[in-house]
A and B are shown apart, each in its own frame.
Chain A
């Protein structure tokens, strides 16, 4: 396995603002990493350093074991950045063709138009595209050189439901070909489905780095909710093993636990005064909210 990205103790300071703080991170080929975090967490800055767009204040960044600024390493990557507009007076097709001309082995233009769903807009002036279509054009540009690694910074912003779905389908087929993905998104459901590794950043630091399942297990847990009868002993409920939180709204009780099986057994075997039991798996979003809330407290 070869290393695609390596960051060693990397920090980036803008004046007094610490955007990224002692980040160490490595990504192997064939993996898909979702970089998550609240606004301003330092995701875009990290990606900019991986791509050689921003120089780290301290630390070392390698792309394909070399200088991230080197033009040859850029032949193997495709990028969608936040906030880019394309130059005026070129059509969609021409803009794509221009990008194809930058790479040694580009994908066919028609294929790129089709992948981005822009076949019908190919003669439109690229600068006049709507926000979502502009995003799709940038996806076509990112794929133009038939890259091994895709860097996507919040790719689906502005896309409608249908194009979002086609977009993720395309990314999935890209991954099936054994390629590598570095993604930032606020769409946690998609991150969960696509990524085999989740990195959560907050205030410039990595606060979690694990496969989605283990992040969900560790921070999401499960919730068991039920309607409580008058005889219920809340004190004891809170003291049960693995219970991390108990919320009540009227008679509706929601218990958060690391081990829903054990909790359910206890509740049933001890014949607690409850009814309408429901169990929810904590999704990634749940885990994310808890993680970043904890991270916020410790800062």
Chain B
């Protein structure tokens, strides 16, 4: 426990010094928010709410997905390749403790990103919700980010492919899931595709809360399905790596 908490603390220190994290992972959604709100006007009505509210959720989701893939996934791959993870295994920090520390780090960063985007939206576009709505949306986006942590782990196991694969997944999943352009504005084929993406089902419940609706079980089910898939994929990759080492 001591070792896990220590590692968590230093992971956060390292992230706060990471310019890439601020410029890309946090910076991109913030900039997109300003650009797209200005294009359309925040007062536009969409899916039972305003564009400024709707797109706030989109960008918070985009940021969380980005940090799961880039910060968690790509960093994990680098730490494995440099022999650092192997070295840590000689210390009292167990593999399990290391995984917990990584997840705690990811949850902390996700919360930070969500709150940042909400603050930006609140102060720049006067987005205001009831206390209960702020809380449920925050909690949903926070807890709902776990499937992407699993995706991050999967990407972290792909070695050299992590960086290109991560960037590709990050952009494609965000675009197809309707985080950039709402799926209502897309052709019906794209809408059908979107309904299979984890990103859509991650943002969808938060959009519904904005419109005064409740979270649907179908969103949770699809996300659980994806989580399972990412976990199975991770285990399979780990197995392959293990047998490769045995060869």
Question: Hey, which bits of chain A sit against chain B, CB under 8 A?
Answer: 13-15, 51-54, 57, 69, 71-72, 74-75, 77, 79, 81, 83-90, 94, 98-99, 101-104, 145, 151
Q: Which residues from B are CB-within-8-Å of A94? A: 10, 13
A102 with B93, Cβ < 8 A, contacts A81-B83, A83-B83 known: yes
Closest beta carbon of chain B to A58's beta carbon, Å: 12
Q: B218 contacts the other chain (Cβ, under 8 Å)?
A: no
- Closest B residue to A95 by beta carbon equals B10
Enumerate 26 A-B pairs (CB-CB under 8 Å) in ascending A order. A14-B245, A53-B86, A53-B89, A54-B245, A71-B92, A72-B92, A74-B91, A74-B92, A83-B83, A84-B82, A84-B86, A84-B87, A86-B84, A87-B79, A87-B82, A87-B84, A89-B17, A89-B18, A90-B10, A90-B14, A99-B91, A101-B5, A102-B3, A102-B93, A103-B91, A145-B91
A85 to B89, CA, bound (A): 14
Kindly state the interface size class of chain B when it binds its partner. Answer: 20 to 34
Contacts of B18 in A (CB 8 A): 89
B130 at the interface (CB under 8 A from A): no
Is there contact, CB below 8 Å, between B92 and A103? yes
Residue contact B2 to A90, C-beta cutoff 8 Å? no
The 5 closest A-B CB pairs, nearest first, are A101-B6, A15-B247, A71-B94, A79-B90, A102-B3
CB within 8 Å of A: which B60-116 residues: 79, 82-84, 86-87, 89-94, 97
What is the bound-complex CA distance between A54 and B84, given in angstroms? Answer: 15
Q: Does B246 contact A (CB under 8 A)?
A: yes
- Known: A72-B92, A81-B87, A101-B6; 14 extra A-B contacts, CB below 8 A, are A14-B247, A52-B89, A53-B86, A53-B89, A71-B93, A71-B97, A84-B82, A87-B82, A87-B84, A90-B14, A101-B7, A101-B9, A103-B3, A145-B92
- Is the Cβ of B247 less than 8 Å from the Cβ of A101? no
Q: Given the complex of chains A and B, what is the CA–CA distance between A79 and B86 in angstroms?
A: 11
- Complex Cα distance A101/B123, Å? 40
Most buried by B among A15, A75, A99: A99
Residues from chain A with a CB closer than 8 A to the CB of B9 are 101
Nearest CB of chain B from residue A154's CB, rounded to whole Å: 14
Please, which residues of chain B bring their CB within 8 A of the CB of A74? Answer: 90-92
Asked if residues B83 and A102 are in contact (CB atoms below 8 Å), the reply is no
Q: Which residues of B contact A99 (CB under 8 A)?
A: 91
Report the Cα distance A103→B1, complex, angstroms: 11
A101 touching B2, Cβ below 8 Å: yes
Is there contact, CB below 8 Å, between B90 and A85?
Answer: no
Q: Is the interface of A mostly helix, strand, loop or mixed?
A: loop
CB pair A98 B7 closer than 8 Å: yes
Query: In the docked arrangement, what's the CA distance between A119 and B12, Å?
Result: 25
A81 CA to B85 CA in the complex, in Å?
A: 12
> Would you call B246 and A15 a contact (CB within 8 A)?
yes
How many Å lie between the Cα of A90 and that of B89 in the bound state? 19
**B10 contacts which chain A residues (CB < 8 A)?**
90, 94, 98, 101
B86 neighbours in A (Cβ, 8 Å)? 53, 81, 84
Question: When the two chains form the complex, which single residue of A54, A75, A98 contacts B6, counting CB atoms closer than 8 Å?
Answer: A98
Shortest CB distance B20–A (Å): 10
- Let me know if B14 and A87 touch, CB within 8 A: yes
Contacts of A151 in B (CB 8 A): 90
Minimal Cβ-Cβ distance residue in A for B246: A14
Task: Report A20 CB to chain B, min CB distance, Å.
Answer: 13
Distance in Å from the Cβ of A82 to the closest Cβ of chain B? Answer: 9
With A and B bound together, what is the CA distance between A13 and B14 in angstroms?
38
Cross-chain contact A90 with B91 (CB below 8 angstroms): no
Q: Write the nearest CB–CB distance from A11 to chain B, whole angstroms.
A: 12
In Å, the complex CA distance between A299 and B10 comes to: 50
The CA-CA distance from A15 to B91 in the complex, in Å, is: 29
Query: CB-nearest residue of chain B relative to A15?
Result: B247
Kindly report which residue of chain A lies nearest to residue B90, judged by CB atoms: A79
Q: Which of B6, B14, B82, B87 has the most CB of A within 10 A?
A: B87
Q: State in angstroms the CA–CA spacing of A69 and B95 once bound together.
A: 10
How would residues 130 to 149 of chain B score, 1 for a CB under 8 Å from any chain A CB and 0 otherwise?
Answer: 00000000000000000000
Q: Which residues of B contact A71 (CB under 8 A)?
A: 3, 92-94, 97
The contact of A89 among B14, B82, B89, B90, by CB within 8 Å, is B14
By the criterion CB–CB under 8 Å, are B82 and A85 in contact?
yes
Closest residue on chain B to residue A127 by CB atoms: B82
Q: B14 near A102 (CB under 8 angstroms)?
A: no
The distance from the CB of A61 to the nearest CB of chain B, in whole angstroms, is 14
Contact B83–A85 (Cβ < 8 Å): yes
Closest chain B CB from A48 CB (angstroms): 9
User: How far is A94 from B106 in the complex, measured between Cα atoms in Å?
Assistant: 21
Partner of A75, one of B7, B92, B247: B92
Q: Is the CB of B83 within 8 A of A104?
A: no
CA A67 to CA B97, docked complex, whole Å? 17
**Nearest CB of B to A144, in Å:** 9
